[in-house]
Structure formats: C-alpha cells, structure tokens
Amino acid sequence: MAEHFRLQHQFKNGDVVDAVILIGANFVPVDSKFPLENFRRVVEAATESERIAARKQFLRDVKRHVDAIATKYILCDEGTYDFALMYVPAENVYYETIIKEDNAGDERQLFGYALGKRVIPVSPNSFYAYLQTILLGLRGMKVEERAHEILNTLARLRADFEKLQENFRVLGKHLTNAQGSYADTERTLTKFDAKLSQIEAPAETKALPPI
C-alpha cells in the first residue's frame, strides 16, 4: 500500500503537500490543511446574523485556501496531474461548506469555484469514492491512448499492405510479360530448329537413268 502514496511530499520550490497518491507515472496532490478553526466561529456564533457573517468569512477563507492549493500543488511540470484533492476532515464541515445551500449569496457556489480551479473537495466518506472515480477515469484515458496507438499501427499496416499489394501487382505484370516473351521465344526457337534441321538434312540424290 505504501508504494501508492507518499506523505509530506516536497516540491522544488520548497512547498510541502500533505500527501500524494501515486497513479502511474504521475501523482495526485492531497491537501489536508483545511481552515477548520474558522469553521468553529460559525458554530459558536451567538446570533443568526453573527453566524451568517462568520460563515461568509469562513467560505472566503476556504476560497483563498483553494487558490493556494491550485497555485502551490498543481505543478504538472513536476509530475502532478492537473488537479488536486482538498480533504475536509469532518462530514458536518463538508456539508456546511460544500453541500448546504445557505442564504449566503454567491458564496454558496464554493464547489463550482473549487472545480474551476481544478481542486476537488472530498470528505472522509467521499474520499474513497472519488479515488475510485479518478482511477476509472485515468484507466479510460489509458485505454483511449492505447486505442489511438492501435489505430496508428493499423494505419501503418494498411500503408505497408497497400505497398506490398502494388509490388505484387507489378510483379504479376512482369511475370505475365515474361510468360508472353517465353512463349514467343519458344515459337521462334521451334521455327529456327526446323530451319536448321532442313539445312542439316542431306539433299535427295536423284537416280541416274540407265545407259
């Protein structure tokens, strides 16, 4: 199992992501530094107006965190895939942050905002399901790449076959011409042989009349 992930992966610029999931030649960054402390202010708000204000601030903080993940950890030139996972450590926090449509105006579009940055929010319950989906998607990409390779190979084979077919046609034409030449030569030789035979045969001697 350990060969499929690494903890505390450090990038060339010194930034460290909490974990990476190794899939093929590349890896998926996983961030777990979710601003959970800010969520407590939402829960501990004394009034509804304080709760709404705290939630708006919390969601703005989460957006900044999404921006940081997208900027710091999605580094394709260092081997990452072009997306990252943002791990939300509690289901109730995930619900409040991602699922619940509260009266918070545009702030409730957080999930779409994160996806626009190619950051996928996951919870403890949804983490495994997202991994399975990612694996299936990447396998599909590999199959598609393989299909392109097969089609390219078939195209090359078709070109080679057509070239061989043309060579075979030319060879057949040459053989047909050669067969015709052989027959003509055979007839000429037969005639020539007949003429030689006539030349080589002794002429008939006529009998002398009696004296």
Residue 208 domain-assigned (yes or no): no
Smallest CA-to-CA distance from 73 within 26, 107, 111, 35 is with 26
Q: Let me know whether 78 and 22 are in one domain.
A: yes
| 100 and 61 fall within a common domain | yes
The 3-class secondary structure across 126-175, one letter per residue, is: CHHHHHHHHHHHHHHHHHHHHHHHHHHHHHHHHHHHHHHHHHHHHHHHHH
> Looking at the predicted structure, is the pLDDT value of residue 70 above 80?
yes
Query: CA dihedral in degrees (86, 91, 96, 99; nearest 10)?
Result: 80
Find the domain containing 190 and state its range.
141-199
Please identify, among 125, 156, 186, the residue that sits at the C-terminal boundary of a domain: 125
Q: Does residue 24 lie within any of the structural domains?
A: yes
Q: Is 69 or 98 the better-scoring residue by pLDDT?
A: 69
Over residues 169-189, the pLDDT tens digits come to: 777 777 777 777 777 777 777
Same domain, 78 and 165: no
The answer to whether 125 touches 92, Cβ cutoff 8 Å, is no
Query: Taking 90 as the threshold, does the pLDDT of residue 72 lie above it?
Result: yes
Same domain for 109 and 151: no
For residues 29 and 156, which has the higher predicted lDDT (pLDDT)?
29
Q: What's the one-letter identity of residue 27?
A: F
Q: Is residue 135 part of a domain?
A: no
